[in-house]
Chain A
C-alpha cells in the first residue's frame, strides 16, 4: 500500500481539483482530506457520511470563580497570555496545565476540548475520510494524523493499493502531519513569483522529512518566463517535472458543477492531469521495484 499527498506551500494552486481528478482516475484507493482547516474535497466527491466521530483533543484551563482568591499567580506564570481578569481565554490557552499546578487554592481545572469531528464517507469513487476542525480550535495536526490513520486502517482492511491525500497549504504543523511517512508528495505550483518561492520552501520540508516529490505546474501559460524558471529549478534540484496544466476556465466550471475536471472535460487540462496521474503511478511502481 502506498500513500501520496498533494501539497503546494502556496494556497489556491489547484490541489483539491487535482485530488478530485485523482479520485476518478485511481483504482482501489481511499481518499483523505488532510486540509482539516478548510476542507473542500467533499464538494467534488459528494460523500454520504457513514461514520461520524468526535475529535477530543487537548485541554483548556478553567478558573472556578468561587474558589479563586485573585492572587494572580497563574497570570504571572502563563507564557501564552491566556489569563486576564481571573479568567482564561480559551482561544489563547495552549492547554499546558501549568496554571492548574501552581494555583495555591486549587481553583483551576483542565477540561478536555471537543476540537472537531471526523467522518468516514462513501462516495462513488470509494471511501473518503475527512474532518472538520472546530471553530477557533487547535490541534489541526493531530486531527490530520487521526484521519490519515483511519484511511490507512480502511486501506489495510479492504486491501486497497493507494491512499490519496489532499493536503493543506503552508509548511507548518498540519502539513508536516500530512507529509511525514508518505511515499510521494505531488507539489502543485503556479508560475507566479509567490508560487516559486513557496515551492522552494515546501520542497525543503519534503527533503527534511525524506519524502520524494514531483512537481506539477498549474496554469503554466499565465507566465511562460516564470514557468521556465520553475523548469530550471526542477532540473537543478533533480526533481521530476511531471505535468504542465494550462489555464482553462473548465477547472472552475467543473468545480461549480461539483465533478472532477477529468470527468467534465476531455481537453488539455484533463489530458495533463491524466499524464500527471500516470507519472505518479510510474514513480510509485519504481519505488516498489527499488525496494524489492
Chain B
C-alpha cells in the first residue's frame, strides 16, 4: 500500500507525520519511507539513515554532431521548449530548458543528434531504524524536480508499506509525488492559510482520484473552521495533534514525535488502521 503525505501549505507537519507514521508501523510491517520533497528533503534529519546507495538523476539533452548537421532546423521546429535553436549555420542548445522528450534526436534526418545525460539531482537509499529509506535531492539552481521525484519513486516496493513525504503546493512536483498512491493524508493547521490551502490540495487529490483524509496539526480549542470544512466535504479527520511547545521543541531538534513522546505510537497505529479500512472498503466497492 502506498500512502502519501501532502499539504497545500508548507510547514504544516508533513515530515513530522511521515516519519512518525513510518516508525510506528515498522514492528508490524515492512516499511519504506520515500522523501519526495526533493527541493527541501528533511526526513533524513529525523531518520539519520545509513546511506548505502547513491545514483545520479539526469535528463537526456541533445548534443549535435557538427559534421553531420546540415542546419535543416527540423529539431528547432519540433522543440516546444525552445531548448534548441538554429540560426544560419549555428545550432544553439539550452540544456536547462530541455525536458528530455527525445523528439529532436528522433526527427533529425541526418541522425546528427545524440542525447547526453545532464545531471539534475541525486537519489540516495539505505536503512534507518529498521525502515527502508530513500530520498532525492534536486541540485541547487535546477528548476525541474519531477525527474528526481520519479527516480525516488522507482524504488517503490509494492510488497511493503510505502510512505511518501510529498513537497508542499499543488502543482507538478506534488502531482508527481502523490500520483498512484492508494491514500493521501493531507496535513493542515487550523488557520485561514491552512484552510485555504487545504481546499486547494483536496481539489488536486480529487482530480487524481485518490481517497484522502485530513490531519489537523497545531490544533487549538475553538478553531473549528477546518473541521467544518471537512464535514461539509465529507472528508474524514483522521488525527488531531495539539499546538504544544514540547512537540515544536522536539521537531526543532530533529527528533521524531514518536521517539520523543512514545505515547503517540498508538495514535499513529490507529491512524494506519483507519487508512487500511478506507482503502479496502474502496477497493471492494470498485471490484463490485
Contact = CB atoms under 8 A, between A and B. Distances in A.
Interface in B8-30: 8-12, 15
Contacts of A80: 101
B78 interface: yes
A96 B45 contact: no
Most buried by A among B9, B39, B208, B254: B39
B62 interface: no
Interface in A152-206: 168-177, 190-195, 197-198, 201, 204-205
B168 to A, nearest CB: 4
Contacts of A79: 100-102
B271 interface: no
Interface-central residue, A79, A95, A204, by most chain B CB under 10 Å: A79
A133 B102 CA distance: 28
Interface residues of B, number: 57
B40 A169 contact: yes
Interface in A203-242: 204-205, 208-209, 222-223, 226
Contact of A256 (B144, B173, B192): B192
B116 interface: no
B249 A37 contact: no
Given A11-B9, A101-B103, A133 B171 contact: yes
A119 to B, nearest CB: 15
Nearest to A96: B101
Contacts of A136: 170-171, 175, 204, 207-208
Interface string B225-266: 000000000000000000001001101111000000000000
B101 A201 contact: no
A264 interface: no
Interface core residue of A38, A98, A140, A169 (most chain B CB under 10 Å): A38
A140 B191 contact: no
A223 B171 CA distance: 33
A59 B80 contact: yes
B208 A98 contact: no
A194 B252 CA distance: 7
Interface stretch (B50-58, B86-94, B135-143, B277-285): B135-143
A62 B48 CA distance: 45
Contacts of A191: 252
A172 B121 CA distance: 12
Contacts of A177: 143
A172 B10 contact: no
Interface in B126-170: 138, 140-145, 167-170
Contacts of A133: 170-171
A190 to B, nearest CB: 8
A171 B39 contact: yes
Q: Chain A contact residues (Cβ within 8 angstroms of B): what range?
A: 35 or more
A140 to B, nearest CB: 4
B270 interface: no
Contacts of A201: 39-40, 140
B72 interface: no
Interface string B23-45: 00000000000000101101001
Contact of B101 (A38, A98, A169, A222): A98
Contacts of B99: 94, 96
Contacts of B140: 171, 201, 204-205, 208
B182 interface: no
B196 A222 contact: no
B143 A172 contact: yes
Given A38-B197, A135-B203, A223-B253, A252 B42 contact: no
A71 to B, nearest CB: 16
A69 interface: no
Contact of B175 (A91, A101, A170, A173): A91
A10 B143 contact: no
Nearest to B245: A222
Interface in A123-141: 133, 135-138, 140-141
A194 to B, nearest CB: 4
Contacts of B172: 138, 140, 173
Nearest to A171: B39
5 contacts: A40-B193, A43-B196, A170-B173, A171-B138, A222-B249
Given A38-B200, A98-B106, A138-B172, 6 more contacts: A98-B78, A98-B101, A136-B175, A172-B138, A208-B140, A255-B193
Closest 3 CB pairs of A and B: A11-B10, A12-B11, A37-B169
